[in-house]
Every structure is written in structure tokens, then in C-alpha cells.
Structure 1
């Protein structure tokens, strides 16, 4: 059975699992630990090592993919929205390979989630442009055209009153400001309407932790584009990272 390991590093939690690549499902428990305060490279590496130890795969020869909340180009992280600024311009892939003593595939977290959904989830067989958005600490995005990933889109950083729209619209804003579902959905409406106008997608897929509760907000949105919840919810990043590592 084809397997790989996926690690999904987020602003608040680091998650990992062993993935069945044929079905796009987890073959293990999903291990989750809090992201270390400050999320410096050394602290994140230590935590990833702990997660792999907990899974029992620290010395495994299975392919390993790591999803990360930043622009990732040729193994370098070029941004840092909800993590330490030390990641900007950082040779992240090489740092993790040296620290873990193995080859890895290092990718943007929303891009990984998009790959999971287009291969095994809500965007499977979708034609044209699918835009996946992850609503969590921030807003990640993935563009998939006829199943092919166009990497490193950053829709969470569209401008809204002089700052990134994710500060106002991410799920963390709802929690921080104690917004009702209706109040938060009104903000999502602004975000998705703008994205719809700019890119004319054929399908929106919504991922992140809040995708566990699609009935509370998706029916409140008025869009011309179909919008559905991610099938793999908060495991999309793990599954996608593992899939890309196996490629």
C-alpha cells in the first residue's frame, strides 16, 4: 500500500499523520501539538521532530511532506504572516532536511490543502478554476486549474482598509471579536465577492477548522460561484503535503 507522511504547520497547531495515497485518507491517528510561541525555525523544527516521534515515523523511509503558512519557492520561505519574521528569505527545506536527516518536500499549506481536495475531495474532477481558501488563524488560498496547482497565491493579503483582509475576515477574527455567525458571514461576503469579481472561479472550496461547521455560514453567502466545504477539513494539509512528497 502506497503511504507517505504529511506534516501541517499552522499558526496555532502542528498536525501530522500517515497518509494512504491511494484513497487520500489517514492511516494513522492525527497527531496535533500547539505551535511553539513565536514559531522560530529552531523551535518549530524541534516540535516537528517530537510529532514524528509520537507518530513512530522519525526513522521511517516513507516520503515526508511539510506544509507551511508562507510563500514557498524552491524550498525558501519568502513570507511570514502569523509566524516569526526569521522565516522571510529562509532556506527552510534545507534546514528541515539537515535537522531531520532526510529528504523532505516543503510546500505552502493552502496549496497542500488544495492538492488534497482536487485529488481526493471536494474538487475532484472539477473543471476550470477551483479556488480553495483555508479560514483559520489567517486566510490561505490555492488555485487549481483543471486539477493543476498554480502555487503561492495570497488572497488573505488583499487590502482591506489598509491592512490584510485576513485580519478582518479569518476565523480567528470571529473568535477574537466574539462575532456571531451572521456578523462573520457578512465579512466573508465582502471577501468572496471580491475574489469572485477578480478571478471568475468555477468553484470555491472552504477548508480550515471552520469547515467542520459549513451549515452555519455557507448558506448565508450570496455568490454566483458554487461554494462547498472541504471534504478533508483540517486534515487537507497533511494529505496534500504527503501526496506532493510522494510525487
Structure 2
């Protein structure tokens, strides 16, 4: 076979006072790099911490230019099934067909002027792939992604899943650095995701700053990240394996 694979495990931890270092859950992911340039991200995510507890299984298919081709998301919240949906982004259309407990069976179609830069499905490794939208040739600074698609706008992705259009994601490239995490030492790219730059902001009306470090080798593998403000969450790559052929 002409494909290669990347496997990883990410630990979900807390930085809240009195809960520093407490495990909140985790994520396992498998990326297939196909011989024709496509990529497939498979991820299982578990948030064990209450408010609410989430179990997510997702598949995201990327074209050779890294734009999303489609995927699948299934969600359980507090051990109860919430919904599952299939997504497809081709022929100038975004399509979704699924079932969730609020609406039953549904189908959606949205006409697209162009394929979106990314599709947000809420795994942490999927968050890391959004950094691929940043044009690194421009150097450090802020760039705005004009629009993108999501399966949910809930901060934990705990509803839906269904097709949601979102606009203006701010990505700030801070710089390159050497970084050591549980999985090893890597050359990393440091990004800030979102328009909010106030790490001390404690309000809930806008998402706190989200700092993300990814590998600088072109694969954009998540290394570590943290959300400040009222969330105080921390994520770290604990295991990374690369191979060829069979998984």
C-alpha cells in the first residue's frame, strides 16, 4: 500500500485552581496520508468532566489541498445518544444527512462559492489542522479566515451534529520554537486561535484565547494547547507513532 499513518493520543487536563493537572478526558486519533495526497482523520474524544460529559467519534476527509471533502460525526452526552450525521462538500454544495434526538431525521444543503478552508468537528487534532489555513509565507501576525463550516458551535461540540456556517476565524501566528511534551521534543509552530487576546478575560460571552502548538514538519500534528479565561483547560500530546501501510 502507498499510504502512511500517524497515530496519537492527547491528554485533556485542567488548570483551574484546586484542579491543576487533573485529567478531564482524552483523545486518540489516526491520520491516514493517502498516496494521492488525500488525508483522513479519525478521532475518538472523551470529556469525563461534568457540564456535560461528551463522547465523540468523528471522521474527516481532506483533499490534497487540505480543504475538507466531508466526514461523519456521532455524539453521546452524559452516556445518552445525541445524534450522528454524514457530511459531504463537493460540486459546490455542502450536504448533511443525519439524525439527532431534537429534530429526528434531517437533510441540509448549502450552496458554496468555494470549498471552505476547514470543517470543525471538535477533536483537538482537528483544531490543529485549522492552522493549515494560515499562510506562513507572510510571517508572524494575524490572518482572518473569511468563512468555514462546523458540526456544532457548542464549546464542547455537545449538540447536533449538523451543518453550521461560521464566519471570520482569526488565526495569529506567534512564531516557531522547540517544544518538549510527553510524546517527545519537536520543532513547533505557535498559534493563537480566535479574536480574543485577553488571557485574563473571565466572561462567558466570547471564547477565551486558545493557544495551540503544532508540528513544524508540514503535518500540523497537535503538540499542546491551552484555553485561558474561565475555561482553564490544557491539552498535551502524550503518544505519537508513525508508520507505513497497514494500521
TM-score after normalising by structure 2: 0.31
* Higher-strand-fraction structure: 2
TM-score after normalising by structure 1: 0.31
* Higher-helix-fraction structure: 1
